[in-house]
Amino acid sequence: MTGEVEPRGQYPKHRRNQSWLAGFLTRLLRLPPSFRLGGKRYRVWSSGQRAIRLLQDVSVASQKGESLLPFRSRIRRVIHATPPALLSAILRNTKDEVVVRLTIWILGRSHEHFSTRFVFAHHDHQSPRVRNEVIRTLKRLNAWRYLELIASKGRYSDAREHAIENERPEYADRLHNLLGLLESRPVPEHTVNLFVSDDARIGNGTPPRPAWRIRRVLRRIHLMIRMSNLRRGRFFWPFHST
């Protein structure tokens, strides 16, 4: 009886395929940890795991009384790389003052409006440093409605005063400041002629393309930017658990 003989030390071909499939399924099912936030479940990928390790190291260093300056480079790397959902979950569940302050600081620098309500939840924190950081972050996020709530119903007087100082200026004042900046700029000595074709249609306030076509282009640009952010790991891609 003749037939193909498998080399010694190797599985038969069908068993090798089964072994590869088992290894592939094992790697596929070895998913990263996840958490729930707002009725959705999010995965903690490598960028989120780096942020968690950073916050843990900062917490340990602060408890030992060590300086936090060596963490500056790591903190700057996670500002735009950590998904806001993970930072919001950490902010909601942690009670460490240093971790709370650092998380709020990162959210303010990343300009993620997703986490505004989680930042606002700490406006009555017992630590004045946390309260001041909350107000500064809300100002960076243009959360003027939350600042008005703090100014009117805040528990601590220093937070109320700080929130009042950061009230949004009126539109007339902002327009006056803008015009002042434009008038203060020097006028160039040379002038440039503007040539307009006789066939060009200027006026009527109507765009040269239909409104639906312009909206379609804007939606595509918005989708391209969002997908680019997803590829950089800036956001989570949520999935619903069954």
- Higher-confidence position of 9 and 24: 24
Residues 216-220 have a mean pLDDT of 83
Per-residue tokens: 173: 């004042």
CA dihedral 106, 110, 114, 119 (to 10 degrees): 30
Gap between the Cα atoms of 83 and 234, Å rounded = 5
**Residue 169: φ, ψ to 5°:** -65, 155
* pLDDT tens digits, one per residue of 109-162: 888 788 899 999 998 989 999 999 999 999 888 888 888 888 888 888 878 877
CA dihedral 59, 60, 61, 63 (to 10 degrees): 90
Q: In this predicted structure, what is the pLDDT of residue 168?
A: 64
End-to-end CA distance of the chain: 54
Q: Parallel, antiparallel, or unpaired: how do β-strands 34-37 and 40-43 relate?
A: antiparallel
Kindly tell me if the per-residue pLDDT of 68 is higher than 90: no
Average pLDDT over residues 44-55: 87
How much of the chain exceeds pLDDT 70, in percent?
Answer: 69
- Measured at the CA of 100, the angle between CA 99 and CA 103, to 5 degrees, comes to 80
How high does pLDDT run on average in the chain? 76
Alpha-carbon dihedral sign for residues 70, 72, 73, 79: positive
Q: DSSP for 110-173?
A: HT-GGGHHHHHTTTT-SSHHHHHHHHHHHHHTT-HHHHHHHHHH-SSHHHHHHHHHTPPPPHHH
Question: Where along the chain do its domains lie?
Answer: 32-144
Helices (H) and strands (E) in the chain, counts: 11, 2
Of 50-64, 83-97, 122-136, 204-218, the one with minimum mean pLDDT is 204-218
